[in-house]
Amino acid sequence: MSTISCVIWDCKVRDRQIVVDGQGVAMYIMSMVIEQEIISDEEIRRQKEKARRLRKSNWWMRRIQEGVCYYCYQKVGRSNLTMDHVVPLSRGGKSTKGNLVPACKDCNNKKKYLLPIEWEEYLKTLSERSHTI
């Protein structure tokens, strides 16, 4: 894998071929935009560490006390709740109290494997369901 540093944008472009024709240049610029949104491993590591500390805090204990999933409102018990970043770390989310919610394993897995758009759809069906109950 080749890494090209881009000084102007302060980002790295990985695995991109620079093609000199008009279309190639356009593609190269596009890939830089995408790459810029990717958060550094160091930052993710720092945020994960912060999340680990928060998981031991009284704030989190209170948060999971009811044992209810933030997304589907199901009562699954505190031992079945995982800590979830509403905005994922890989998308620039931080380990702050506002961005950390208890999620059941079902929701957590879905969130991990669904595309953001599919996840939105899932949340929509959940809220529709809770309205009909």
Which of residues 51 and 81 has its CB atom nearest to Zn ion in the complex? 81
* CA end-to-end distance (rounded Å), the chain: 52
Stretch that binds Zn ion, among 11-19, 30-38, 91-99, 107-115 (CB under 5 A): 107-115
Which of residues 100 and 104 has its CB atom nearest to Zn ion in the complex? 104
Distance CA 89, CA 132 (A): 33
How many residues of this chain bind Zn ion (CB under 5 A)? 5
Contact assessment for residue 92 and residue 39, using Cβ atoms and an 8 Å cutoff: yes
Contact assessment for residue 13 and residue 1, using Cβ atoms and an 8 Å cutoff: no
According to the binding rule CB under 5 A, does residue 69 interact with Zn ion? yes
According to the binding rule CB under 5 A, does residue 72 interact with Zn ion? yes
Strand 81-85 to 11-14 pairing = unpaired
User: Measured from the CB of residue 122, what is the shortest distance to Zn ion in angstroms?
Assistant: 10
Angle between helices 105-113 and 116-132 (to 10 degrees): 140
Stretch that binds Zn ion, among 52-60, 64-72, 86-94, 113-121 (CB under 5 A): 64-72
According to the binding rule CB under 5 A, does residue 101 interact with Zn ion? no
**Residues forming the site for Zn ion (CB under 5 A):** 69, 71-72, 104, 107
